[in-house]
Chain A
Amino acid sequence: MRLPRRWLGHISGAGIWLAASVLFGWWFGSVAWALVAALVLYIIYMLHNLYILDRFIDGAGRMPLFDTKGLWPEIVARADRIKSRARQRKKRYNRLLREVRESTGAISDAGIILNADFEIVWFNKAATKLLGLDSRRDIGARIDNLLRHPDFVNYLAAPEGSSIMIPPPNQPNGALHIQLIPYNKNQQLAIIRDITREAQLERMRRDFVANASHELRSPLTVISGYLDTLADDEEMPESWQVPVSEMLRQSHRMTQILGDLIELTRLEAADTVTHADFINVCDLLREIAGEFEGREKSPQLTLHLEADSALVGAESELHSIFYNLINNAVRFTPDTGSVDVYWRADGDQAVFDVVDTGIGIPAELIPRLTERFYRVDAGRSRATGGTGLGLAIVKHALQRHGGELEIDSVEGQGSRFSCRFDAKHVAVRRGAAENVI
């Protein structure tokens, strides 16, 4: 290590000073005393400069040093440089912080930073507006003490899915969209967006479809009523018989579509079933299979009831799930093929499968199947008499029963539609009593 020049200068200066004092002492015959005096002076000099440096670092003004060049002035100058650099950096950070604060304040979404115990660390202005938080008192408070909606509390404890929707605390008709984003180790950022308007639009759309379907149904009933009478009329000229029966068929189809639309809007209106019963799935499936038995020209339908788990849910909705899936399989399977229906347990879950040897679905179209009125082959499915809403109904009804729809298919060889019900909605006979609500 090489000493810097200022230190060499200082040390050599001190050496000269000591040598001079020794020489001086030797001249007067008292080397020791002269050395002591020189060292005392040196210590005073050092302490004085140290004191000035200390004061300077503390923020007092710059006091004059004994010397203008050498080690000490340089140290003070360097301290000055460091200080002013720190000051500049602080200014820059402050500006940055202010800008960040202002910009987060301007964001219309509320942001709240939470620590591991869900205590509020920081929130922006929008949070004050949306949730009625108070920046003076609520820092450090637990968020679920102030935002007490049970859905939110449950979501906080066990985040299922990416986000939830709750009404804001101060207006029950609104809607808030809340998303928790974990970051760092234990911190979380809650982003809260006011979606009252979107929710309203969504409700308007739903109401519109429901109302329109209801309104269309009454005139249609009249039309199909008259067509029924006309079709039965024996005096009708031959040339009219084909058109009338075609009109009758189409009006029935329209009634069916409207019925499905109304069913679908009803399912969409709520996420959960309001009245849940125990549904004996085996009996239900036997009943549905019975409906297909009498039909001419249909593929072989076989039931495989491997479990006797019951489901907790609404019977009409479960019926339409099972019926629609079996009906689809039967419709798209040639008469020589077969349709196998399975009801089985998988751990705590229960699974319903429909396996057919039908025409299958191209893989790239599978994600679109549950869209309303989506048809893989428009001509064919109309010929077999579907409404185009069956799978959409299945999807929504399944959601309400904690189920998931999985579709596997190979074109030309057949398909498998599986409904997997989560443990919460499944009641195994033995433990049924525990799940009674």
Chain B
Amino acid sequence: MKVLAVDGTVATLEAGGVRASARLDALGETVAAGDYLLVHAGFAIRRLDPEDAQETLKLLDEMLAADDDR
């Protein structure tokens, strides 16, 4: 979910038009508007980087390419 605003240990979030809030005290990282968070039962547990999703796709493509070479 995308962070819209941060107020102390609480962030306001948005995903697919739905708003929610999450506590940040289980995260141990600073968060700013525009960041993406992984949230479970109202608590953020990880900051996500959209770039990392691209990394996963690269990993997949390498695996698929290696297979095609065989």
A and B associate in one complex: no
Q: Which residues of A contact B (CB under 8 A)?
A: none
